[in-house]
Chains A and B, each alone.
Chain A
């Protein structure tokens, strides 16, 4: 047990004047001397001063001790120790430094009105075991500290009602102190110190206990920041998979990447990918990371009745969670139990509107999968679906190409080359007219209200007036839309006089139309016009061309979806980084600076012994280094001032930080969208960093220019050139970021002739847009 409270003059002086005790005492001595007080009075005052000074020394020593404790705890946090280990360390350090009988950390759930014991050092004298939750009202010190919001003291439990107070009496605990742990302005819980029966805890212990609660709050903030970082890692993993999909990787490659990334990010025991055949109601295991713990080997099959998570998803259509396998029937569930797999989260992979299969993550034993798991798995499942449907379309195109040869290959090339839709549809019309030997082919889009838009025609994208169909075309398309099947008119007596007249005016003897089906619904029509009666097999031969249109749409659609999805991922990851930067800035950075100023105050106000001063100097230097580290880390995380100050000032700030002189030209017009500005910022930042490292340039120019649709940023230097996108991961990351927004990054770096990096970004990327209308 440490010293009891010291005599009162200094305390009184402190509470009256707010000055630290040593200075107050010194002032008293000085005043007494000046007033000519009797020597005995002055001596008494000097004695009080000596006691007060000793106390300041004691305080600074324990401050140093507490800072060492902080350092030990911070090290644990930095080593990614589990929260439990961190809390244990804090409680043990607190009980050691304060020398009390026991210390416990309790968390508070305001919504439920409950308390949970996180950890206590009571050992066998504990009133409740660790991990137990009970109503807040049952805990005397808990109820008190939560309502007061500041440290409280309970003198004894003698008259306290309730179960917990009784146990405390029983186990021989006396005075109890509790201090709230405040994280981000709300009471997260409290730290309690229990003295032995009849022991009196010194009055400054409230404050010292409160110091430990700051330490816990800092640790909690650190751990929250770590969770945030984990989220950022998820987004990076998603981005890597999205890049694979965008590069047209085979589904198998994408599946493996998904399983590996997902099991790493979620930190679960195993991840599996399963496909479903609705006709036979059978599941097939495609790939799993279980190793010998797998219930079904890769390639193995099992029926719907034995796939609990699959059956659930067929009902809900969304992600599901299974808490444990205990009561679930069937051999697969039994095998999961046997292998010690616990909580499971699964997300369906939806291709062309139907369930293709699912992605499942299995936790170990009693492990609880964090609440965000469903969403993360669903994001991975979405990327898998993109890869699968891309591959379907590619297979279909390959089949078509084998039948129709060159004609289709030309269209496929246009599609692959990202030609605009009107060009593609006119090319389809042209190829169909050549293959069928007819003078005119129209491709039209059917709308829900029954109207038609002409998308492409034999004459090319511009060969039609106001996107309207001819009367004959409309009449035929109407038939196709009603029946959903191919239709023809060559007997002009069966149509209205108006249409027949138009046909004879235009000189067409025969018209055939065929439906274009996309995802099972009528999307549009292809209409063929001929002078003579069209051959009987025209409808069949048209099928290849309707498939071609459908494939082109699927590809363009998939590409747009993927762009939107990658843009969403980039935006989400930027948002996370922004949040982490904000939390660091508002939380840990402020707290450390305040601590630094406190240390300076201790040094300012008292003459410290040499070793204490040296100790404080060391802590101050450590603090400066940590702050600087966080400052640099934060700057790299997110351009915090970009949103406020705009692209121009932010790029000029980057230029000022560059060791090579940089000239910056940025238009002063309206601001771009936040994702675009952020992308431009990162491109310039990375390009400047790269130039500083490798270019040996004398000067760099940064030019940002924009027109109605595009913004272009060019960073050129007069250095040695020879840069490659593969060599530096920083530049590769930029390709990823720029492409995710539907833009393009190009690099020109001939040896000896400088380097020029150019990023072109479309201004109109709608991050939320899922299905652009063709």
Chain B
């Protein structure tokens, strides 16, 4: 059974491109959310294996959302995504409860699956952009 995935991002263009790509690469994108509240509701309803959360979610804080999604003994995996470099965000992301970080242009199903399966391993080596 392939991994189920929820994408939380306020940029529609990115969400549709990411959904298309991840679906083609074998993930099941079960939901898309554009705000923190919507994300929490959908995560509750759909229990995805992994939730991709944009660090800058419009005026909302994606890192705070990651904390909400992973608190209270939830088994959900959260991967933070951003256009920015990991090192720009490392201090902000510390203690977010996320299992990892992916730069948006390095997004692909294999990287998502690797991070999700090594839940306790916080850092992965950076992926090359648009890796096939």
Contacts and interface: CB of A to CB of B under 8 A. Distances in A.
B36 to A, nearest CB: 15
B65 to A, nearest CB: 14
A701 interface: no
Nearest to A584: B83
A594 interface: yes
A350 B92 CA distance: 49
Given A585-B83, A596-B129, A649 B24 contact: no
Contacts of B129: 596, 624, 627
Contact of A641 (B13, B20, B89, B107): B89
Contact of B21 (A601, A624, A649): A601
Contact of B13 (A590, A600, A649, A652): A590
A453 to B, nearest CB: 47
Helix, strand, loop or mixed for chain A's interface? helix
A771 B17 CA distance: 54
Contacts of B104: 590, 593
Contact of B20 (A585, A601, A644, A645): A601
A620 to B, nearest CB: 5
A594 B20 CA distance: 10
A492 to B, nearest CB: 73
A600 B130 contact: yes
Helix, strand, loop or mixed for chain B's interface? helix
Interface in B2-33: 11, 13-14, 16-18, 20-21, 24-25
A519 interface: no
A620 B130 contact: yes
B107 A597 contact: yes
A601 B25 CA distance: 8
A598 B22 CA distance: 11
A603 B88 CA distance: 31
Given A641-B89, A653-B88, A653-B91, A597 B83 contact: no
B21 A652 contact: no
A653 B84 CA distance: 13
A594 B130 contact: no
A593 B91 contact: no
Contacts of A485: none
A8 interface: no
A581 to B, nearest CB: 11
A600 B132 contact: yes
B91 A597 contact: no
Nearest to B129: A624
Nearest to A644: B92
Nearest to A597: B17
Interface string A653-682: 100110000000000000000000000000
A598 B20 contact: yes
Nearest to A582: B56
Given A593-B104, A598-B17, A657-B87, A624 B24 contact: no
A604 B24 contact: yes
Contact of A605 (B17, B24, B90): B24
Contacts of B24: 601, 604-605
Interface string A84-100: 00000000000000000
Given A601-B24, A620-B130, A627-B129, A645 B14 contact: no
A312 interface: no
A624 B104 CA distance: 12
Given A585-B83, A653-B87, A656-B87, A596 B11 contact: no
Nearest to B89: A641
B108 interface: yes
B85 interface: yes
B109 to A, nearest CB: 9
Contact of A624 (B83, B105, B108): B105
Given A593-B14, A641-B92, A645-B92, A604 B132 contact: yes
A652 B92 CA distance: 12
A198 B99 CA distance: 59
Contact of B83 (A593, A601, A604, A649): A593
A631 interface: yes
Contacts of A589: 83
Nearest to A606: B24
A586 interface: yes
B11 A597 contact: no
Interface in A581-639: 585-586, 589-591, 593-601, 603-605, 620, 623-624, 627, 631, 635
Contact of A603 (B61, B90, B92, B132): B132
A623 B130 contact: yes
B105 A652 contact: no
Interface centre among B25, B61, B88 (most CB of A within 10 A): B88
A629 to B, nearest CB: 13
A599 B107 CA distance: 13
A603 B21 CA distance: 10
B130 A591 contact: no
A620 B56 CA distance: 25
A734 B21 CA distance: 46
B11 A586 contact: yes
18 contacts: A590-B14, A593-B17, A593-B83, A594-B14, A594-B16, A594-B17, A597-B130, A598-B17, A600-B21, A600-B132, A601-B21, A601-B24, A604-B25, A623-B130, A627-B129, A641-B84, A649-B91, A649-B92
* A-B pairs with lowest CB-CB distance, top 9: A594-B17, A649-B91, A597-B17, A594-B13, A601-B21, A596-B130, A590-B11, A597-B21, A593-B104
Interface of B: 11, 13-14, 16-18, 20-21, 24-25, 56, 61, 83-85, 87-92, 104-105, 107-108, 129-132
Given A627-B105, A641-B92, 8 more contacts: A590-B83, A596-B130, A597-B18, A597-B105, A598-B21, A644-B92, A652-B91, A656-B87
